[in-house]
Structures are given as structure tokens and as C-alpha cells.
Structure 1
Amino acid sequence: MSKKKVLGCLLTGAVVTTAVTTTVMKNKAKKTTYKAESIDPITPREMGFYEKYVKRAIDVTCATGAIVVFSPIYLGVAALVRAKLGSPVLFTQDRPGLVGPDGKETVFKMYKFRSMTDERDENGELLPDEVRLTKFGKWLRNTSLDELPEAFNILNGTMSVIGPRPQLVRDMVFMTKEQRMRHTAKPGLSGLAQVNGRNAISWEDKMNWDLKYIKKVTFKEDLKIILDTVKKAFIKQEGITQDDMATAEDLGDYLLRTEKVNQSEYNKRKEMATEILEGSLKDYGDK
């Protein structure tokens, strides 16, 4: 068989494998995503041609290429996490995703490499983040290596390479309807806020960068953000945590600390977040 035929067979096999893997992962993702039913709807945004038809193909290509090319790094980091932090190697967390036609966010499982221990107190409660976040865990976060598994979220269609970073459900419930417009774009591995200060900037600035991004989603802008991300995350190695905190401060805690919400409103919205997350248990039972 000629070299051209061999190459053609390999390329065909790669395309078929990618298509099958992507389909399987999308079907699995559907079983673990659910609707944030308790939240008020917002008006969905009309997507342009690139965002609607081209961006997904680029996402699949980039995610597949990253998993193949960096597979030794995936295996190496997984082995380190297993040795230093134990099992499980992967950490999953429910995050708000794309707003549906009904104006409510879907909530999906986001994958990351584990960066904290599961140490608990005498009552079985997890110890504070600053206690459970080890030196190794900080290194993982500062190098962004903990985020490598999000490539599988990109493959299953719950995330994109570029878009507003998916925050926590307990952050979403404190956002205004205008700020929640960020969820009318698929959440991304990196975004404008990440290349313009990450967690060193205020919550308001982060939201404003996200809202600026969704005004005009283009290939040129996405490419620029990708290049800036590589420079900041891997060359300059900028961390994701705030200077005086082990992890980023929740939006609700920030609003309460700065007296932008009172204790009563804070408690009410925290209850809403709990209600949304508890809804996942019912949905999983129905599937």
C-alpha cells in the first residue's frame, strides 16, 4: 500500500474515531445536565454565523488535537495527583452553562484535575480551602494544568475553547439579569476576563469583560484570546487565586462583604442555589 493510501486511512480512522467519541460524550453529557428551573428567565441572544456554525468545528478540532498531543502530560499529571492527593484523580463540579430557548441556564458537570485534599473535621465537614489546598495543588492551579480535563467538556459540547468562564451556581444566583447575559454564549476554557486580569480584577470588571465578548463573537477575537491565554498562563504563569485567599471569593460573599446585598437577600439567594443543585438529584433519578 502506498504512503498516500496509508496516510488517507489514518486520517479517515482519526476522523471516524473523533466523530464516534464526540457523539458518545455528547450523549453522556445529556444525562448529567439539567435546567436551573428556580431562576427567572432572561432573553436569549441571537448568535452570528461563526458562533452558530463554525465555532463548534474549531472546538472539536482543538480539543481532539490537545488530548492527542498532550496525552503524556495528561497521564503524568494524573499520576502525580493520584500519588499526592489520592483518588479520585478528577474533580467534577456543577457549573452554569448555555442559556436555552426558555431563557434559563443549563447546568453541566465540569471536569478538572483534583487540587485539594478531602480532609474533614470531627463532624465530617470539609476543612477550609486554605487547609485543603496543598503546595502541589497551588502549583497545578498556577500553571492551569488542573484545567486540562476541560478539553473533554469541549468535546461533549458543554464548553467551548473561548467564552465566558463558567462560574459556580452559587455565583449565578447573585448575578443581575444583565450579567447573566454572559450565559448566552457557551462557557469557555478561557475568555476576555482571563487575559485581562483573571481573579486579580473585581467581579464587576470580570462581568463587563464577558459582556463585551458576547457583543461580537468572531474568529479573529477568539484567536487573539487563545494567543493571549498561552502567553499569560504558560509563559508568565499567572495564577488564578486572589493574593489573600486560597481560592477566588464567591460573588455572593463579595457582595455581602461590600454591603451590596444584605444578609436576608444573601441567605435567600444561597437557598436558591441549593434548590437548583438539589434539582439535579431529581433529574438524575428520572434518567
Structure 2
Amino acid sequence: MQQGVQLSSEKPLYDKIWRLCDILAAVVALIISSPLFLMIALLIKIEDWRAPVFFKQQRVGKNGRRFQMYKFRSMHVDAEAQLAKLKAQNEMDGHMFKMKDDPRITKIGKWIRKTSLDEFPQFLNVLKGEMSFVGPRPPLVTEYAKYSAYEKQRMLVTPGCTGLWQVSGRNNLSFQQMVELDLEYIDKRTLGLNIKIILLTFKEFTSKGSGV
């Protein structure tokens, strides 16, 4: 898309069908992964008994609405306070923070991040309707505040656990490339495209888990 082009996100039939798919898949995923949830929770508590198992962070969802996104805690409890000191080491351009060797990450956090297991609690967000299995990643409130009107179009739809950006290069892409991929997804999204993205995500997840 070109800057200034207004994107239409109206696909009512698709939205209803995909919402039903989200609900069914989230219920099944939560049931199947419950033993894994318990194991990760125990490992997090063993490393630091006083720290919470889950990390809740305010994110921006569809049409700018805010919600609490859930993750397994992969960082030390004072990670948010340390962020300001690390801003200069940001390895991502645009309105995002990425750092390869982030000192705030715990030992267990390195493993669950490498395998993307830290993201599993977002199944709860999907069940609540705050997220979808596929869609643009929800930005931080501080990041969204810096978006241009064009960039805010990426939040015209429900944000997702995975998306076109994640299976197209992820950290190797710039912020602007991420925006363009998200807008392309919003414009072209179909049930078939969603299934393709989920399969590519699963392939990447299993590769991480096997150490490939």
C-alpha cells in the first residue's frame, strides 16, 4: 500500500466465521496445552518463587482499544523499569524495541522465548475476543501513540498471536516492512490465508523446539 491510502477492513461474513474458528481452536489449545502450562509455571516459580507466573501488559487492540495481554513471565520483575536504560541499544528501527541479548530475560525465559512458549497464555486473550490466532501483533500503548495515521491502520482488525509479518522474516524486517505486511494481510485476509499462516507458524515453532 502507498502512504495516504485508506484501507477498508469490512468483511462481516469472514469475521463471524473466523471468530467461531478462534473460539473452538482456543478451547482445544487450552485443554491440550494445560499440562505444559503447569510445567512452565512450576519452572518459573522454582527460579523465583516470589515472582508471578504470568506477565500482563497493556496493549492496543482493534480500533485503538486497550486490553491486558497475557504471557508467561520471561523477564525479571523489574524489566519495565530497566527498559529506559536499554533504549539506546534498540536493534529495531521505528516504534518497537528489540534486543538480541536482553539482560532482563531470565534463564527459563530464554528457553520459553526461543520456543515461543511464552506466548501460549494468549490463547486466553483469543477466547475473550481481544486477540485472534492470526492478525497484526498488538503494539504497546507507548508505541501506538507514536504511530502516524497510516500506521494506525494496522489495528483496523483484531490483533493476532501470529501473522504475515512473523512468517515473512520477523526480526530481519524493518518496522515499515512490518506495517506494509500487516496492511497487505488486512486487505487480502481469507480463511485460506489464515490457515497457511498458522501452518507456517507451526513449522517454525517445531523447528525451534527441535533446535533447528
Q: Do the structures match in fold with TM over 0.5? A: yes
CA distance in 1, matches of 2:185, 2:7: 15
1:196 counterpart = 2:168: yes
In the alignment, the residues of structure 2 paired with residue 119 and residue 216 of structure 1 have an alpha-carbon distance, to the nearest angstrom, of 40
Helix, strand or coil for the counterpart of 2:103? helix
The one-letter code sitting in structure 2 at the alignment partner of 1:94 is: Q
1:106 aligned residue:
65
Distance in 1, matches of 2:128 and 2:141, equals 20
SS class of match (2:133): strand
Could you tell me which of 75, 89, 94 is aligned with 1:116? 75
Unaligned runs of at least 5 residues, structure 1: 1-42, 100-104, 240-287
Q: Which residue of 1 aligns with 2:193?
A: 221
1:121-166: CA deviations, max 9, x gaps?
xxxx547673321232121111100000000000001000100011
> Retained in 2: the 8 A contact 1:114–1:146?
yes
Please tell me whether Structure 1 or Structure 2 has the larger radius of gyration of its CA atoms.
Answer: 1
User: Per the alignment, in what secondary structure is the counterpart of residue 82 of structure 1?
Assistant: helix
Deviation at 1:236, TM superposition (A): 4.0
1:88 equivalent in structure 2: 52
Secondary structure, aligned partner of 2:61: strand
Q: CA deviation at 1:45?
A: 3.6
Q: CA deviation at 1:170?
A: 1.4
| 1:88-134 superposed Cα distances (whole Å, 9 cap, x missing partner) | 100000000011xxxxx1010000000011258xxxx5476733212
Report if aligned partners of 1:165, 1:189 keep a CA contact under 8 Å in 2: yes
Of 105, 115, 135 in structure 2, the residue corresponding to residue 163 of structure 1 is: 135
Q: SS in structure 2 opposite 1:131? A: coil
Contact 1:161 1:188 in 2 (8 A): yes
1:260 match: none
Q: Which runs of 5+ in 2 are unaligned?
A: 1-5, 87-101
Shift of 1:73: 0.6
Q: TM-score, normalised by structure 2?
A: 0.82
**Residues 20-59 of structure 1 correspond to what in structure 2 (within 5 A)?**
45-59=8-22
CA distance in 1, matches of 2:210, 2:56: 23
Deviation of 1:213 after TM superposition, in Å, equals 0.2
Once residues 204 and 115 of structure 1 are traced to their aligned partners in structure 2, the CA distance between those partners, rounded to angstroms, is 27
RMSD (Å), alpha carbons: 2.2
Q: Is the 8 A contact 1:159 1:186 kept in 2?
A: yes
Find the residue that maps to 1:194 and give its secondary structure. coil
Residue 6 of structure 1 corresponds to which residue in structure 2?
none
